[in-house]
Structure 1
């Protein structure tokens, strides 16, 4: 199993809206590295849901329910989507400030490639974030 983080602006597409949909495509990615990360996702991989710009915190956990396929919002075959489903809202959101000050998360992609919208998370980073969220 692999772990990932996806970002969304809560005013545009919030965790609560995602939960209300029950399952949705993760579309609109137009960055090659983020696209490659979508292509690398496998069914049942776990995905942190991060509110960017406003809130700036990991608020929920989702899972991949369908692997990558052509993005239906464009005819350009270079772009793909995956389908995600919510698993749970985190007991306590994990803020960017908390991540920045945690020495166990100093190499996390969220800090190294802050503008990337879809990124891998190492297993030990996943475990640490779950700990910080009071989920273990």
Structure 2
């Protein structure tokens, strides 16, 4: 599969997928530095799995090739999570930005914002560790 994707998947991502292989986590909010609640987080609907049988799997019908051809996302990224925007912004592993262990950064790419790339986390493990539950996050803005 990594040959088909064009990039090696990070060990932390593979280990996580061996346990969960995609789906919707309890924690779906990744807080960002901002005073405005709308800009202070990224919300995910779920994490994409490894494989090709599920539609949203890395090599499935709604996997990497779909996002590159249908939405014209850059070919330097591997999509890992979707957002409530129905494909107009997604989270990716960005192989242009590697951490000290050689793992790609997690970035947000906004298709409607001319594919603007926003750094989210240094690697997949940091991203997953930073996720919080929705009600806990939004309670701070009440």
TM-score over 0.5 (shorter chain)? no
Q: TM-score, normalised by structure 1?
A: 0.31
Higher relative contact order (CA 8 A, sep 6+): 1
